[in-house]
Amino acid sequence: MGQRIPLLEVKDFTLQFKQYGRGLKQIETRVISGFTLDVHAGEIVAVVGASGSGKSLLAHAILGILPSNAATGGSLKFKGEELSQSLKERLRGKEISLIPQSVSYLDPLMTTGKQIESPLRKAANAVKSVMNRFQLGDDAKNKYPFQLSGGMARRVLIGTALTSGAELVIADEPTPGLHKSMVDETLGSLKELAALGRGVLMITHDIDLAFVVADRIAVFNKGLTVEVADAKAFEASPDNVKHPYSKALWHALPQNGFHSVRGKDYGEEIDAGCDAGEEDDA
């Protein structure tokens, strides 16, 4: 990716939670270890990982919205500058925007027009153009979230991220439970954001989605990036990825043979690394 400074640079990032066990005994649970990734302007990078692998926590760490018992290590940089808590608070909603997992993140007491307008410093007629782009008619402008369909609510969330003018958009499972036409529309919007020069970090468990929309795919499991691969090459053949876990993902797709070993904990081969040799996953 040349010498340009990436929009987002994550290096050896770790995250652990402190919890109390019985009495005053403290337990530390590490959920992310050795996470490394960068996102450049105009690029969509997908973080693909199993449910419960801790990938949403990465988004929360970037935005500075982790719970107070979380401790982090390693480095998170935005345009070359280390992201401190105060910088995160200054940037979020302005330079860094989140398309959250759930439509319940919409303010229930705010109309669609106001919601889309909210991150704008100068509203002007930008709201109208965004609403047009996302096929939200004039009547939608004065509606409250409970009056919107699930698909419309999702378009409002994406529209809000767009008007914010944020350079980095983080989309956390942007298409859960949506039908194919809505999925295509949502992915189209993300592509549009990238075409406008924004960087997009998409977090998903669905590798098919990543194939459709991403430039690069970070395969994530057991709290670390297993490997970062070119999306098109990965989709085309498992020979284009190195790690046995990435290859196993490819082979498990219904369109690629639907192979897996029953009862096997694939997380266990994560530590084995790329040199562990080929795993027979038929």
Partner 1 sequence: MKLEANHIYFKYGGSAEWLLEDISLDIRAGEVVGLIGTSGRGKSTLGKILAGQIGGYKGDVLLGGKPVPKGIYSPVQLIYQHPELAVNPRWKLGKTLAEAGEYDDGLRRELGVKTHFLDRYPNELSGGELQRICVMRALRPETRFLIADEISTMLDVITQSQIWHVVLDYAKQYGIGILAITHNEHLAGAICTRKVFMQ
* Residues of this chain that bind partner 1 (CB under 8 A): 48-53, 176-181, 205, 207-208, 248-249, 252-255, 258-266
Which residues, in sequence order, are bridge partners of residue 29? 17
Non-local CB neighbours of 109 within 8 Å, separated by 6+ positions: 144
- 66 vs 252, which CB is nearer to partner 1? 252
- 85 vs 181, which CB is nearer to partner 1? 181
Of 223, 218, 219, 214, which is closest to residue 194 (Cα–Cα)? 214
End-to-end Cα separation, the chain, in angstroms: 36
For residues 42 and 235, the answer to whether their CB atoms sit within 8 Å is: no
Apex 55 CA angle, 53 and 56, nearest 5: 120
- 44 vs 249, which CB is nearer to partner 1? 249
Non-local CB neighbours of 117 within 8 Å, separated by 6+ positions: 123, 126, 127, 163
CB neighbours of residue 154 within 10 Å = 24
- 136 vs 219, which CB is nearer to partner 1? 219
DSSP H stretches of helix in the chain = 55-63, 85-91, 112-117, 126-133, 150-163, 180-195, 207-213, 231-236, 244-252
- 137 vs 150, which CB is nearer to partner 1? 150
- 208 vs 227, which CB is nearer to partner 1? 208
Least Å distance, CB 53 to partner 1, is 8
For residues 23 and 214, the answer to whether their CB atoms sit within 8 Å is: no
Least Å distance, CB 206 to partner 1, is 8
Task: Report the alpha-carbon distance of residue 179 to residue 241 in Å, rounded.
Answer: 30
